[in-house]
Structure 1
Amino acid sequence: MDYELGAPGPAQSEYLYHFTDRVGDRPDWVPEEIRLMKGSERLEAILWEERFRAFPPFGAADSGASGKRCVCFSECSPEQMAFLIQWWRFRPWGLVTTREVVNGLGGGAVAYVPPEVQQSFRRWGLGHWAVSTGSKNSWMHEREWRLPVPSPAESVKLPEVVAILVADAGWRPRRRAVAWTDGESGDPLAGPGGNPFAVPFEDHPRLWRETPVWVWDKDAQRVVEYKPGALC
């Protein structure tokens, strides 16, 4: 990163959270196989792919909204996380990065504006940058950030993941074959390749092994931090 944002103020946080689950509607423009996943399953898919899939956010997919695909984040202090999980139905599954990372890739905080101002954003082809404060909900509880993904790309790789957020200290992503060896000679193989002696070496995703894990403690209403590899 060749530049940095200023230090966050007391009402801000350096951390941005990409939650993979929440109670509520699922956008019908997201593929059904993703909508039917649990939050832990979506998180596991991201850990293995090491990429975030992008879709138009709520409101940005409306007819005439001119919104781009985005990866969405919530700027959230540790104190506010309890508020989001308890009152705003987020579930503690996801990944954590920083404002500098998202801003450096072209992302930023959305504008919370009245409906008539949001229409101006849409007319300028910026429908994905504005959230309407009309109706009974101002939507400002999560201080949303969005990272637009230019077409025809459908996903983006983050250069830095600060932590992995999970709801259960006993949860682990499933192991997969990450390497192959010849069971007779012990020589490494590029893949099974029809070799009857090929033996897979299974392991957790690289990010799970190399990234701190934050486990949400429901009783204490805070995260418990584990060092990389501690939950392998």
Structure 2
Amino acid sequence: MGNIEKKTESRVVLTADGSSSVYNSEFDQHYHSIFGALQESQRVFIQLGLEAALERFTEISVFEMGFGTGLNALLTMLEAVKSERAVKYTAVEAFPIPLEEARQLNFDELLASHYLNALHEAPWNRPLAITPFFQLLKCEGRLQDFRTEERFNLVYYDAFAPEAQPELWTPEIFEHLATLMHPGGLLTTYCSKGYVKRNLQAAGFLVEKHPGPARKREVLRAVRQ
């Protein structure tokens, strides 16, 4: 996320639903909602994103903007294993959190899982099968510079908020994302600001508003036309 040449300071914090998040001091941003990291990810990315994609598509290829804490990847992998549906998962992250911080996150404990460390310890820029149903490729770098021949039918857009990183919420960024997606592909994000909706529409997306998680009235799901 952001300018890859700068190194940031971060620390693990606890959110209102008892799940962990990380606070980034440079951007003055939390990686997840302070009102509940786990419930936010489950609502925005799993319920509105992955569950809908599993119904619509035979093969699932996910792109995540911002690997961050690994929570979205972990939840996706657990759903893939449970449903026995293969998922290819690609994430771009400019500021990987230190492994010592990743090991402080409590998602495995809350989800009765044992995969979080494997996700964070997976090599960068090289695909790795974490389970027979989940292949992970973590790319260290900026979204603006990301190029691939892969095409995705589901995008988790989990960049820092527009006030912290306005360059990641422009029509040009969403146009770039559209070129990486299959027609009919889904994009979900926690941010429902009016200009974000308009920028998605300008990039050729059909935008839907949906009820959000705790303290969040609305979130967005967009369909690549």
What band does the TM-score fall into relative to the shorter chain? under 0.3
The structure in which a higher percent of residues are helix is 2
Larger radius of gyration: 1
| TM-score of the two chains, using structure 1 as the length reference | 0.25
| TM-score of the two chains, using structure 2 as the length reference | 0.26
